[in-house]
Amino acid sequence: MAGTDRLRQITDAVRSAGRAGVAELAALTGASEMTIRRDLEVLAEQGILERYRGGARSLLLRGEEPPFALRTQEGLDAKRRIAAEVAGLIADGESVVLDSGTTCLEVARVLEHRRLTVVPLSLHAVNALAGAAQLTLLVPGGRPRQGELALTGPLTQASLAALRFDTAVIGCCGLTAADGLTAYDLDDAAVKRAAIASSRRVIAVAEAAKLTRTALAFVTAASALDAVVTDETATDEETDRLAAAGVTVRKV
């Protein structure tokens, strides 16, 4: 799909200016106005922007998390490498709780043909694993959040409380030695905590960018993590601080 690139352009333009006109976007992308309108329709459906006559305004507040569909594409290579590394840390036969988020989705894809018990906390991962014959898939209950399809709420908490895992693979929005592992969404954070509480070992996955960020909801201190897998662009400064907190850090 050549349109993906254009959708990105439109999203960026609308987000940075707050709003943009159809003609303007057509000139920017080189596509016809009709195509732009169709794109805007798609993006509006994803909740990324809001249409008005003649253009669209951004619904993405600065500082807010960009939508899932966008994040899946970003740094895909790094995510794949991280996922492969995580897969290497998990032994056959283990039971694993797999957090929501795009990085964890890549982990799901890598685990598809392994002999494991996996409990994914996002429907995206559930779908990725639904066809796997070897793997024992267990779905926790919960309310899927729009777009993200992350399961949260009392049903999720109850499901996790009823289970015990060898390993938790946890994604995050921010992770620093000082502020610990943080998330944007409070409900998500509660689920992550429940997953960690039911697990013997915790592996956090975080692209380099996240090691310099702190999000709203505190999940757990860095010292509670057993391992962090990040990508090679992470600075030693950050990773050394995590290592000092007693975490095994892997850059890939």
Partner DNA sequence: CGTAGCGAACAAATATTACGTTCGAAAGAT
Partner DNA sequence: ATCTTTCGAACGTAATATTTGTTCGCTACG
Residues found near a second copy in the complex (CB under 8 A) = 123, 126-127, 130, 133, 136-144, 146, 149, 151, 153-155, 158-159, 162
Nearest distance from C-beta of residue 146 to a second copy, angstroms: 7
Choose one: 8-16, 28-36, 199-207, 229-237; the region binding DNA (CB under 7 A).
28-36
The DSSP secondary structure of 20-46, one letter per residue, reads: EEHHHHHHHHT--HHHHHHHHHHHHHT
- 17 or 155: CB nearest a second copy: 155
Q: Can you list the pairs that 124-133 forms with residues at least 24 positions away whose Cβ atoms lie under 8 Å?
A: 124/68, 124/100, 124/149, 125/98, 125/100
| Shortest Å, Cβ 1 to DNA | 5
Residue with tokens 């050549």: 2
21 binds, among DNA, a second copy, none (CB under 5 to 8 A by kind): DNA
Among 12, 13, 19, 21, binds DNA (CB under 7 A): 21
**Interaction of residue 216 with DNA, rule CB under 7 A:** no
Contacts of 85-90 spanning 24+ positions with Cβ under 8 A: 85/229, 85/250, 85/252, 86/110, 86/169, 86/203, 86/205, 86/229, 87/111, 87/114, 89/167, 89/203, 89/227, 89/229, 90/114, 90/116, 90/167, 90/169
Which residue is it, tokens 């349109």? 3
User: What is the nearest approach in angstroms of DNA to the Cβ of residue 130?
Assistant: 18
55 near DNA, judged by CB under 7 A: yes
Nearest approach, Cβ of residue 149 and a second copy (Å): 6
User: Between 57 and 201, whose beta carbon lies closer to DNA?
Assistant: 57
Enumerate binding residues for DNA (CB under 7 A): 1-3, 6, 21-23, 30-35, 37-39, 41, 51-55
